Structure 1
Amino acid sequence: MPEEKLRLEIPVLLPGAADACERCVEELTQVLKRRPGVIDAHVDGREDARLCLHFDPALIAPSQLRALAEQQGARIDAKFGHATIRLPRPLHARASRSLADDLRGVRGVVRAEVGPTGVAVVEFDRGLTDEPALTAYLNNHAAALGQAPASAGAGGSRDEHAGHKHKPGEGNGHKHGGVFGERTELVFALLSGLALLVGWLASFRLSGPVPLAFYGLSYIFGGYFTLREAVDNLRKRRFEIDTLMLVAAAGAAALGEWAEGALLLVLFSLGHALEHYAMGRARRAIEALAALAPERASRRRGEAIEEVAVEALEVGDIVLVRPNERLPADGVVIIGESAVNQAPVTGESVPVDKSPAPQEATFESAEASHRVFAGTINGAGALEVRVARRASETTLARVVTMVAEAEAQRSPTQRFTDKFERIFVPAVLLMVVMLMFAWLVVDEPFSVSFYRAMAVLVAASPCALAISVPSAVLSGVARAGRGGVLVKGGGPLENLGTLKALAFDKTGTLTEGRPRVTDVVPAIGVTKERLLDIAAAVEAQSDHPLAAAVVTAATETLTAAPGRAESVESITGQGVRGRYRGEDVFIGKLKLFEAIDGPPVPEEVRSEAERLARSGRTVMVVRSAGAYLGVLGLLDTPREGAAEVIAQLRGLGLKRLVMLSGDNQGVADAIASQLGLTEARGGLMPEDKVEFIKTMREQEGRVAMVGDGVNDAPAMANATVGVAMGAAGSDVALETADVALMADDLRRLPFAVGLSRRTSAVIKQNLFVSLGMVAFLIPATIFGLKIGAAVIFHEGSTLLVVANALRLLAYREGSLGALGGSATRDKQHG
């Protein structure tokens, strides 16, 4: 069957937010696959984010296929909407799960996730509902919870909203409003504890109504917000942990154990307040990113400078950035030189020198030394910058939006604990009911059976379990964001922390992608200077990357500039030819000289060329006027610190580190040996890399792929975790990767892996504590442990898991291995 390929840009086919939605892209590919004549349809990121269509030209013309793809893309984009809606304050983990369930029940909602930090990510059918209706729905829930109205936050919805900037600390408080504002529940918990203490002290001297009155006050203050949530859950026919706590407190009161019941409510309400503190800390760490960009910019109009809001900046505007000011927009430097601190966006610890770009340079094509980002800090020199993106589309705004979406994604462990709770809570209620009737089987009073049942109810409530995973995941995501690493949710964070195998693309990831001349071997009777002069004179007229390396080596070695060759032309796949000083010059592989007329390659030249090839060099043989002048050996330059990074990853427990390359196996082996990799695979086409990643997944279970996010997108998509480097300058990398290293710096990778390892460890610790405490307390209370002791153990475990999760916000690079010098970098951007 004849086959041709057609590549179409996904952002054009799906012009709205749908280009970033896996569901929409998947539906588009499935629709096109069903069309007669289409052999295959898949995402191909080799050149950009594109849809690659394989088709039989005898059955469908390329123009027909293009029109069909555009038509179906427009239909899907018109059908599905995508919104990120932010509540002004965090939620309990249980409340966020309940709200997500409610959202999924709304007509037209395809998918909905709500994070404990108050971010809702919703995909919906535009024909059945719209974003204003969903925002109004959330506002109604917010009003019922005592919140301010919800808004399109953290960069707005993915469809059409502009960025909504939060001020530091805005909307981070407790979801319950009240007389003390956002701190009302915390104050109520403390008042409940105070009333309990006074009542307990009074019971030593007084009896009767006085201690009882203070215990009653403790019940009122400690149970007020818990009762509100329990009633709301019961209206929706949900039995949550709040309900279990209230039943246990009421049971203790019925038995006359007012102090123990009050202690339960004090600690439970205090635990609630601390859960919100943990969520607020994680949320504030992320919202601080949104506050980095300045609110005003100095825009140049002719010779005049005017102060405008950053939202008013248009693409192409020229802005003046004075020394020590924050950059107001993404753009390209056109005048001035300075060092810019990019740590807020990329995590780079050292300021990056900036200089004017060539006049024709765009933001995408400009070198890193010419490109600047909103929210970064200018150094001592004034800069004039040509704006490349509107305020709502800057790298910073998009990172904040994506992190907000990541907050709402549930990790595999979170999904497990959610399912566990849904089964466990009804099972606990059934067990408690059975224990209440134990007096019918065991010779004991009803009061004893009832007391035991209430104690078991306290012991079995999985409060610590409910908060253990989300608090750790959100703290980990927030800490990664502060360190210049974008992690898109708990799934990638957990997976990256449990990997044993990791694959790297070679060019641009482990190496600079800029080869250099490492060996100059002249033939007998030929000087090194003559060899380089003739080679550089010809290669200077070529645009091949290897040619640039030869010219650079000649410039550095020769005292005078190389001459200029004439009639230079490329011999595809073999080398180049030209005339220099009246003589014919050929430069290329050994195979070139087997295919052209002239004397054969001398044995000494051939042996040197073969020796260099075996050592991983790219070999260039030079012949002028029929005489062989010698051999040049070139090698791609490893990135600075790449070998150190590989050693650090080994120290973090990664056993298999593989390099994938399109270069020949000899080159791949040489680089792998130099860097300390466990293996290298050379001669791979992009589709070969995909197959190798699939094989690694079968062998290792989970594998990460590290690349630049553009030409490595297919392999990254097939890995368990795709890690993109240099994402601050690449829209494709930001969209396609599970984990994005904002700086083009491989040294951020050990930080990301180390943080993920620590997060995985904290999650396991929290699960051990929460489930272990339940496993200990249930039999202990059945065999006589008092409610008071059960309350202290139970609520103590909740406070312990929250405190353990918050430690991730203080994670320092190098904590899990010898990450030399990282602590210094951490101080600067952590």
Structure 2
Amino acid sequence: MSEKLRLDLHSLLPDTLGGDDTRVVRLIDALERLDGVDRVHLSQDETGASTELCVHYQPRSISSNSLELLIKECGAAIHERYGHAFWIMESPIDQRRARTISDTLLALNGVLESDVSPTGHIRIEYDRSKVATAQIHKVLEAMQVRLVLPQQEEHTLPKDGSNDHAGHSYAEGNASDQTHAHGGLFGSNTELIFALICGACLLVGFLLERMASASPAWLPVSLYVVAYFFGGFYTVREAYDNLRLKRFEIDTLMLVAAAGAAALGSWAEGALLLFLFSIGHALEHYAMGRAKRAIEALAELAPEVATVRREGKPIEIPLEELVIGDIALVKPNERLPADGFVVAGTSNVNQAPVTGESIPVDKYPTQDATLARTRPDSIDASARVFAGTINGGGALEIEVLRRSADSALTRVVKLVSEAETRQSPTQRFTDRFERIFVPAVLALAFVLLFAWVVIDEPFRDSFYRAMAVLVAASPCALAIATPSAVLSGIARAARGGVLIKGGAPLEELGSISAMAFDKTGTLTEGRPQVVDVIPAHGVEESKLLAVAVAVESLSDHPLAAAIARDGGARLNGSSIPRALDLQNMIGRGVSARVDGETVWIGKAEMFGSDGVPALSKEAHSAVQSLRQLGRTTMAVRIGDRELGVIGLLDTARPDAAPALRRLRDLGITRMIMISGDHQKVADAIAAEVGLDEAIGGLMPEDKVAAIQKIKAVNRVAMVGDGVNDAPAMANSTVGIAMGAAGSDVALETADVALMSDDLKQLPFAVALSRRTRGVIRQNVYVSLGIVAFLVPATIFGLGIGPAVAIHEGSTLLVVFNALRLLAFQDSRY
């Protein structure tokens, strides 16, 4: 029989990003190859506050001490060797430039992954034994990419190229002396100013050319040459970088066409091409900047200073100086400075900036501050507060639980920024398409150069036609079609309290036709109440409740919290014994020791297997009678004595039925509950909220099997709390976690995280994803349609000027079409 060894993941791999981190994947793969190890996976500790690495092993093959040592050595080796970094450029760039930077980094020996977003975010993983961050920075500097770096990283970067141990870094420092990839003489606006200079020279040259008698012939041409310089400055650099990578990109096509126009003496048309292309780039940067600013606006929600009580006096300190345990004083209508819990005062707090909730939430002091400090996930929503939210009319005193750099708001901003670098399936397809299409366009243009051989026309006309085709066939709009929509969709979702981790989950969520739900805390209130207490024969109710409360007080499962709360109230101050050594038997119950004896509390199915004594007929009868009433049941046993059965009732959320109806309107045709509760209980809740079916009595591995069965027929999303349902989420098409603002685990494990417990966010997320998929399709169709129109049009005589105007117009059209997503409202809900 195998045993389990659990170790805290963050102690093995500091600064890990959770299950999405490739270093975690490497660690799991390495451990699964060890002799005696059966399976390795991620799970949560008993409080749900941290992620653990769970290793199933054969004790006859390897001892727990030896295994723990091997795991730590393996984790240390991976952390020592592999690093990942997240950097930010001061301003956005275009999609083609982003891809060039990404490919240049990937060409470095030792860089394993590289994702660059048009909003200027860079995410890389690298092998420290082959490349240092100093070398990566030198490559970026050679490409004139300047990064906004935290102050401490700027000071600690190796000067000699030696390997560093920076690991994961999140750039959020001062950028006063930095410029972005398109910076230069005029800072971040240099490309726009260069484009305007190009346009001015083009216009003056054109007017002088029309007034030939008023100016020498060389003057208009000189102005066109100047226009070429300013209009082609960034295009030449981009083409050069791509040619070094042995790639022909859109910028290369534009330069060839402009050079061809100059060779024919059509300087005005060539300058017009470069002007429109460069002004299109600059406007594209502006549009992408809007999506970036929507994310940056979240980061600016937290105040810069906080008022805290120290030594009995209120003092004002910078937000960065807040420490865990500080008591922050929040006046009416002020923004809250940190994540924490209320210790004094009552008010209502607008949590929309973090959770997306439209109605302010009433806040009251926590009933047990000691419990809140030791088990933050147990804090009631009415006492929990988040940095960046807005206080109402009452003054509050809050105890700080997290430093400003670790707040839910900061983590959301970081995760959304990282999500922007992860490509969607459509974007990956269009990238592959472009890399085939652009060389094909060059080949077509080369063939058209020799049209004069077949038809009776001068070489000049054939050459001009070939250059016009180069312009017409450049897929600029296609390159930006998907990333602009994805970035806008992710930004809009974040503003609505929904965290979507990249283009892939965003597109996939819009394609699902089935949705599976956990019961407790998802479709129900998650606050079950003790409604029945049935002691065993000869056992007093107080004895049953005292033992149950002692054990369940060590756990933060919703059922355990209900027994501890309601059972304690029923005891009315009676003494409660001390429980030790809580063991979580996932999906079945718990065990602990009370007064030297083992106590088991859990489902009836837990008893009689894995060494747990079986229940008597009397207990089974009590369980069955309660289940017929729709109760969730927990049997209690200590040593060789049964103490009785406790029945709990959890009510459906008021907003569950309307949310599910809206999901049906959006095209979710199959909705299922998969629950660890008894089938009768699951059926009762499913009927109340309007689900198609319910599957009860499932262990975590059974939920995975159920999801896989559904997935064989439908694309399915799994909705849960991100803790107990993590395996099922991982096996679904899209994993969706609710209430993620208060749970680090939910933020790490889910593809989509609803920051509040409000089910209305679920149809909003699905509707937004469907709209985003629609916008992506529109953009792709427009992009390809314009190319399909322009290529034959230029072959049959359309000039370079009109072709450029239509070409650049289509690029701006798809960008501004994507920006409509920033204003998305699900008005039908």
> Normalising by structure 2, what TM-score?
0.83
Deviation at 1:117, TM superposition (A): 1.0
Report 1:306-705 matches (<5 A): 306-357=315-366, 358-360=368-370, 361-362=372-373, 363-516=376-529, 542-543=548-549, 595-596=617-618, 613=627, 616-618=630-632, 635-700=649-714, 702-705=715-718
Code of the residue aligned with 1:339 in structure 2: it is: N
What residue is the counterpart of 2:101 in the other structure?
99
What residue is the counterpart of 1:823 in the other structure?
none
Q: Secondary structure at the match of 1:813?
A: coil
CA contact (8 A) 1:704 1:723 kept: yes
Deviation at 1:468, TM superposition (A): 0.8
What residue is the counterpart of 1:233 in the other structure?
242
What residue is the counterpart of 1:797 in the other structure?
810
User: How many residue pairs get matched?
Assistant: 761
Unpaired stretches in structure 2, ≥5 consecutive residues? 155-164, 534-539, 553-557, 580-584, 590-602, 608-613, 636-644
CA contact (8 A) 1:325 1:378 kept: yes
Q: Secondary structure at the match of 1:77?
A: helix
What residue is the counterpart of 1:177 in the other structure?
183
Alignment of 1:189 with 2:187, yes or no, is no
Structure-2 change in CA distance of 1:656 and 1:166 (3 Å) = farther
For 1:50-83, what per-residue CA distance to the aligned partner results, in whole angstroms no more than 9, with x for missing partners?
2222222222222222222222122212221121
Q: Secondary structure at the match of 1:514?
A: coil
Code of the residue aligned with 1:30 in structure 2: it is: D
CA contact (8 A) 2:248 2:439 kept: yes
For 1:128-169, what per-residue CA distance to the aligned partner results, in whole angstroms no more than 9, with x for missing partners?
33344434543443xx25xx54425999998475772579xx
Deviation at 1:771, TM superposition (A): 1.1
Alignment of 1:125 with 2:132, yes or no, is no
For 1:555-612, what per-residue CA distance to the aligned partner results, in whole angstroms no more than 9, with x for missing partners?
99xxxx9999999999x999xxxxxxxxxxxxx99x9998349xx99xxx99xx86x8
CA contact (8 A) 2:86 2:170 kept: no
Alignment of 1:60 with 2:65, yes or no, is no
What residue is the counterpart of 2:52 in the other structure?
50
Q: Secondary structure at the match of 2:377?
A: coil
What residue is the counterpart of 2:149 in the other structure?
151
Q: Secondary structure at the match of 1:699?
A: coil
Deviation at 1:671, TM superposition (A): 1.3
Deviation at 1:613, TM superposition (A): 4.8
Code of the residue aligned with 1:784 in structure 2: it is: G
For 1:298-349, what per-residue CA distance to the aligned partner results, in whole angstroms no more than 9, with x for missing partners?
2322112222222122222222222222222222222222222211111111
Residues in 2 aligned to 1:124 and 1:803: alpha-carbon distance in whole angstroms: 36
Deviation at 1:212, TM superposition (A): 5.1
Code of the residue aligned with 1:151 in structure 2: it is: L
Residues in 1 aligned to 2:110 and 2:577: alpha-carbon distance in whole angstroms: 64
CA contact (8 A) 1:185 1:273 kept: yes
Structure-2 change in CA distance of 1:789 and 1:314 (3 Å) = same
CA contact (8 A) 2:147 2:180 kept: no
Deviation at 1:235, TM superposition (A): 4.4
Deviation at 1:464, TM superposition (A): 0.5
Residues in 2 aligned to 1:123 and 1:555: alpha-carbon distance in whole angstroms: 51
Deviation at 1:796, TM superposition (A): 1.6
CA contact (8 A) 1:296 1:328 kept: yes
My pick for the range that moved more, 19-28 or 315-324, is 19-28
Residues in 1 aligned to 2:35 and 2:809: alpha-carbon distance in whole angstroms: 64
My pick for the range that moved more, 150-159 or 297-306, is 150-159
Q: Secondary structure at the match of 1:44?
A: strand
Structure-2 change in CA distance of 1:450 and 1:307 (3 Å) = same
Residues in 2 aligned to 1:470 and 1:727: alpha-carbon distance in whole angstroms: 26
Residues in 2 aligned to 1:422 and 1:750: alpha-carbon distance in whole angstroms: 37
Q: Secondary structure at the match of 1:511?
A: coil
Code of the residue aligned with 2:5 in structure 1: it is: L
CA contact (8 A) 1:163 1:391 kept: no
Residues in 2 aligned to 1:106 and 1:773: alpha-carbon distance in whole angstroms: 37
What residue is the counterpart of 1:293 in the other structure?
302
Structure-2 change in CA distance of 1:567 and 1:94 (3 Å) = closer
Unpaired stretches in structure 1, ≥5 consecutive residues? 521-533, 575-587, 622-630, 820-830
CA contact (8 A) 2:528 2:650 kept: yes
Q: Secondary structure at the match of 1:663?
A: coil
CA contact (8 A) 1:192 1:218 kept: yes
For 1:386-435, what per-residue CA distance to the aligned partner results, in whole angstroms no more than 9, with x for missing partners?
22222221212211111121111111111111111111111111111111
For 1:420-477, what per-residue CA distance to the aligned partner results, in whole angstroms no more than 9, with x for missing partners?
1111111111111111012223333212211221121111101101111111111111
Code of the residue aligned with 1:595 in structure 2: it is: K
CA contact (8 A) 1:513 1:636 kept: yes
Residues in 1 aligned to 2:800 and 2:171: alpha-carbon distance in whole angstroms: 50
Residues in 2 aligned to 1:235 and 1:547: alpha-carbon distance in whole angstroms: 62
CA contact (8 A) 1:516 1:635 kept: yes
Residues in 2 aligned to 1:759 and 1:235: alpha-carbon distance in whole angstroms: 35
CA contact (8 A) 1:81 1:130 kept: no
Considering only aligned residues, what root-mean-square deviation do their CA atoms show, in Å? Answer: 3.9
Structure-2 change in CA distance of 1:28 and 1:346 (3 Å) = same
Percent identity of the aligned residues? Answer: 56
What residue is the counterpart of 1:15 in the other structure?
14
What residue is the counterpart of 2:24 in the other structure?
25
For 1:692-745, what per-residue CA distance to the aligned partner results, in whole angstroms no more than 9, with x for missing partners?
112222222x32111111111111111121111111111111111111111122
Residues in 2 aligned to 1:29 and 1:270: alpha-carbon distance in whole angstroms: 49
Residues in 1 aligned to 2:438 and 2:564: alpha-carbon distance in whole angstroms: 73
What residue is the counterpart of 1:164 in the other structure?
172
Residues in 2 aligned to 1:69 and 1:551: alpha-carbon distance in whole angstroms: 36
> Normalising by structure 1, what TM-score?
0.83
Q: Secondary structure at the match of 1:637?
A: coil
Structure-2 change in CA distance of 1:549 and 1:720 (3 Å) = closer
Alignment of 1:724 with 2:737, yes or no, is yes
Aligned counterpart for 1:275 among listed residues 276, 284, 299? 284
CA contact (8 A) 1:42 1:53 kept: yes
